[in-house]
Each structure stands twice: as structure tokens, then as C-alpha cells.
Structure 1
Amino acid sequence: MPDHGSVLVTGGASGIGLALVEDLLKAGWRVVAADVSEANLAATQAALAGHGNALRVLQLDVTDEPAVVETVAAVDRDFGPLRGVVNCAGIARDVPALDTSADLFRKILDVNLVGTFVVAREAARAMKANGGGSIVNIASVSGQRGNLGRSAYGSSKAGVILLTQVMAVELAADNVRVNAVAPGPIETPLVKALHTNEARAAWMRTVPMKRYAAPGEVAGAIAFLLDGTKSGFVTGQTLGVDGGFAAGGLIGQ
């Protein structure tokens, strides 16, 4: 099996991040799963112990800039060369705009947008020195459409999409590709906690495929964007994994 190098996955101990870690290990990547939850990291380490030294887990809060700088440098130095980074770490709230406090807005932006930026910035510095790599940011269909209750979350993910485009343009000459994935409704622990029965019914009325996706269905799209042999001329793009949501117009009852 080929050695693709190492990839750092934030939010890598649950949901989309965990599914991706599993897929990448099977494909021959060396993977660092970073997460803020010690319990989830311990469970991930135990569940994937069969992959041996190809997997490392570490605790990381992406809002802690010094910790991010130190972590990315250490991963590249001790487990590198760093060839891929995926920004899966994120939080969400469904709150009407008029009920959203500035503190909540800032908290969501800090994790989803600023955290993504700092991790991507540090990764790009390492990848530039290594001759290239791929950064994949997790956006959302809520960063592309005015979904109810998503003033803070949607704004953060819209920012991720534009950040992706800017960094892709700036880093293209360094052979560092930057893309995003925009999931629709995915059966992750975060979504299960957030989506009420009413919310689920609303999604089913607007998603042409009439279902939620499994995390692994998003992981496959991310893996494609990480693999330079398959997506080497793809940069600055946002790939929708949304069951047709963004394409839908009047789709029936």
C-alpha cells in the first residue's frame, strides 16, 4: 500500500471526521486525529488500535492559536511530512437571528471560521516547505443558503467558503490545493442533537434524495480532494455533498 504521507484531521474523533480517519487509514495514509474531547479520542484510539503506528490521537482546541501552531509543527516534524489537513472541527446552534447573542455569534465564528483559518494557515506553511499538499475545509449548505436559525452558523460557513477560495489562489503557486466540502443533512452526533423531528421533516421536503447521508458518504468526497493523483488540478472549489439540496427548486410534496 502506498505511503501518502500524513494528514491531520481536526474534529477527528466523531462524525464526519471519524469516518474520514477510518477511510484514510485504510487507504494508506498516516493519520493524526485531533479533537477537543478526550473521551472521544480514547474511544477512537481503542476502536482503531489495529492500525498501529499509522494512527495518532491528540487533544486540540482549534481556538487556541499557540496550541495549533505547536501541534501542526510537531505533526510535520515527528509524523510527517504533512501532506493533508482537514478542518472538521465545528459547532452549531439553531437559534433565530433576533435571539442570537453577540457572544454566541463570536463563539461559533471563533471555532468554525477562525479555527479553520489558523489550522489551514499553519498547515500551508508546512506544506509549502514540503513541496505541496491539500487542505480541505468543511463548509455547509447553510453557508450557501439562508437556512432558518443559522445566522451565526451559516455566516461562519459562508466565511469558510470564501476563505477557501482566497487561500487556494494565494497558495496555488506553492502546489498547495485548498478546497471545501459543503455537506447537507448528515447523520452525525452533532446533527442528531440539533435536529428536531420538525427540522428533519423540513429537510426531507427539500432534499431530493429524501434522506440524511451517512458520515462515510462525506468522507469519500474529502478523500478524493486529498488525493493529488485524483484531484491534482482541483483547487478553490466547494463540493456539495447534499443529496441535491442546492440544486433543488420545486421538488414536490
Structure 2
Amino acid sequence: MGKSGRTRRDVILRMLDERERLEVAELTRRLGVSAMTVRRDLHELQQDGVLRRVHGGAVRRERSPFETRRVAHAEEKLRIAARAAGLIDDGDSVAIDTGTTAHSVARALRDRRDLVVVTNSIHVAGEFQGVPDSSAKVLLAGGVIAPELCLVGALATETIRKLHVNKLVLGCGGLTAERGLTFFDIEEAEVRRAMLEIAEKVIVVMDHTKFGRTETISVARLDQVDVLVTDAEPPPPYPRLCRDSGVELVIA
């Protein structure tokens, strides 16, 4: 029996991590599907920018750090994004940060009506451009362009602090009992703190690997979060910490 589409593409990505070129014939044997199905998977991965189609197969395309994180735990991020998007209504104003899981939420929100989206991520802003009949208004914070195509610095944080949003979709690099939500880049962390200041409701999106992981910069305490959406039941002590902090825990 063949694997699901997302599972097949995850296998292809893992194989590309081990070698520079893959052949369609080899993939049909490995995945148990037709050559037409493999070509369709390769086409979708090429559209995502993670490989390049060549005659008879595909070759690895060097990924940016953002792309590398985006394809990691991709199936889990899609589930998280779908649940988080369900918490956002037509007509909401929502801030969305630069993380790859938050970017997946932005993609899941493209059919919402009359959204106001505040972001410092060029990736997120781009999700709402070119969508037929889109009514979203996107406010892209100014600032210095960082390597991951996001805007940081004093201009970005000052712009965001002048605004107000109903909801914030916030990713993180890790969560621990001692340090709360953490991130690995100080300038992006400052923008996230500014977003926290202007939001009525904070929705954190993170896959299960972030529990117990800590990064360099502390961004927020757990009790600053309203809803935490993840893909699996967290290990102890995080369910209890969420209850004690008044955080609604949602398992996608």
C-alpha cells in the first residue's frame, strides 16, 4: 500500500538529505506508487523550492535556514496551522510572526474574509498576495531586512507598537518551565515582544519538539499566553504548567 502524499514527500526530503540526486524509478520502488505520482510529488516539492526537477528525477537545491526549518516536521505544522486558523474569525486583526509554523497558519488563513494582518515577515505577507478575491489588508512593518526575509530593528518595533490587534499567532524556538518561550535571534525576539504588547489574545503555535528546548533569548512567560496549539500531548510538567498559567492547551 502506498504512503500518503505528505508522508511520501517527507521520505523524499530525507533521501535528498543523504544524496544529491534521486531517480524516479528508484522512488517508485521505494514509495510503492506510480511514476506519475512520484513526478507529481517532485513537482510540488519544486514549487516549494526545496529541489529542482531534472530529466529522470530531481536534484537537491540548497535551502536557506528558513526553508530547512519549514520542511522539518511539515505534517505536524500543517495540523497545528489548521487548528490555529480555526481560532481566527473573518474580520479579525491578527499579528503573525516570522516563524515557519506561524507562516503555515498564514497560508491556512488565505480564505478568511476582511482580515487585517500585521507582520514583519515578507514570507507571511506574500501568502496574501495574488489570492483571487482576497479581502485581506496586510500591514508589513518597516525596518532592516534580515537574512530570513523579515524586517527587524527599532523601526519595525516602533511601527508595531503603534497598532492594536485582536489576536497574535506566535511561534517560538523552545519552551521551558524556567525561561518560558525562547527564541534564537535577539532582533526577531524584540519584534515578537512588541507584538505581545499590542495583542488582546496570544496564540502560540509550536510542534512537540519545542517542549523542554531552550534558546538564547527569553521572549515571554507562559502566563502571557492564552492558547497553545501543538501536535501531541506535551510531556510532564507542561500540561500542569499550562493549567496553572491559565493557558488553553489544544492538541492538533
- TM-score, length-normalised on structure 1? 0.39
Q: Which has the larger radius of gyration?
A: 2
Larger relative helix fraction: 1
TM-score by length of 2: 0.39
